[in-house]
Amino acid sequence: MQMAKFIVEGGKKLKGTITVSGSKNAALPIICAALLADGETELKNVPDISDIHSMIKVLEFLGCKVKFANHTVTINPKNLKNDYIPGDLVCKMRASILLLGPLLARFGKANMSFPGGCVLGKRSVDAHLTGLKELGCKVIDDKQNLNLATGGLKSADIVMPEISVTATENVVMAACLAKGKTILRLSAAEPHVQDMCKFLNKCGAKIKGIGSHELVIEGVKKLKACQYSICGDYLEAGTYAIAAAITEGDVLIKGINPHDLDSFLQGLCEAGVKYKLGKNFIHMLPSKNFKAIAKVRTAVYPSFPTDLQAPFAVLLTQAEGESKIYETLFEGRLNYLFELEKMGAKFEILNPHQAVIRGPKKLKGVPISSWDIRAGAAMILAALIAKGTTEISNIEYIDRGYEKIEEKFRKLGAIIKRV
């Protein structure tokens, strides 16, 4: 079967208004968290992307009744069963690891194949296992599969070995139904983690410290289903913000809390990008003559988001001087630079975590490929400013994280089609 590609004609200034989709990184853990609640959960503003459909398939495999239409997902776990989850269901989606916490809380055991997802270097499950063991879980197997069991979850004072988004989410979900008060130190605080905690609290959980790196979870006996609207995707908003900037565009981006992007917006400001902020929007103003940045250093929230590092690098190819990127969270997340090099970008990789980009360089349209979700988005951004036609392959990565991205760009005046 021939895979789909994007064909992009560069050189168009973007103009118009766009509303971002619901956050993928919030929707996936919240869908898993719905397994903890009695009754039918209704989630609104869910992005219609392949990762959501993949997660729904896993839930249906486990016996849940799930409906997805018009960006609304309803989940009824009444007939939930705890079967082994095979590799063909989880091999392409790392977020499936978020089922561990709910299954352990509901059944006292969980058994699944190792999850997959984007190729971002070493992504260990150690932080998940450390936190869950503190809650009373025993690891039966972590070599061939992820097989855990517990005679009953108990509260604990946990110091996480690293600030991990999905490990935090797993431990929080399990702790909600554990006896007593759990303190989770060095917890992740990203907006999507906050959104999951807010959803759980609406279901009757007792989570305090949301938005900080220390969460306190008072265990309850049960949770009740509710209606909830997923927060807007600040990472999608950041992607469109860069697209507007590099095309000298005038774009209003709606549907997010702009302060979720404070560190990113500071980077834009430093590069000479003009914008205005409102309560739930960012208005990108026509900008040019970008300036290099001494260092773009990714780190856990509220620092510069790793998921906007690759898109931001496209902006830096158009900035005067040398800019340094320091990717602290993942190995292998600079490989997309070799695709940009085909288009004319100039850079030097110093080590697996650091690179120097030299600009400005005019980019030209050539065949390129997506390396992961965010690198794929970066390829589209580069194509928007390249001279001529760019062909982008492996776009299934992009479809995992961005809903109808080509339609949204066309609405803003870009020439892009899926073939």
DSSP letters, 86-147, are -HHHHTT-GGGGGGHHHHHHHHSEEEEPPP-----S---SHHHHHHHHHTTEEEEESSSSEE
- The CA distance from 169 to 330, in Å, is 19
Cα(374)–Cα(357) distance, integer angstroms: 18
Does the annotation count 231 as an active-site position? no
* DSSP 3-state of 327: coil
Catalytic residue among 32, 64, 118, 226, which? 118
Round to whole Å and give the CA distance between 98 and 27. Answer: 11
SS3 189: coil
- Sorted by sequence, the CB contacts under 8 Å of residue 61 that are 6+ apart come out as 83, 85, 89
Number of Cβ within a 10 Å radius of residue 402: 27
Please check whether residue 228 is in contact with residue 41, taking contact to mean a CB–CB distance below 8 angstroms: yes
The order of strands in the sheet holding 109-112 is: 109-112, 146-150, 137-141
Question: With contact defined as beta carbons under 8 Å apart, do 244 and 20 qualify?
Answer: no
Which residues form the catalytic set?
Answer: 118
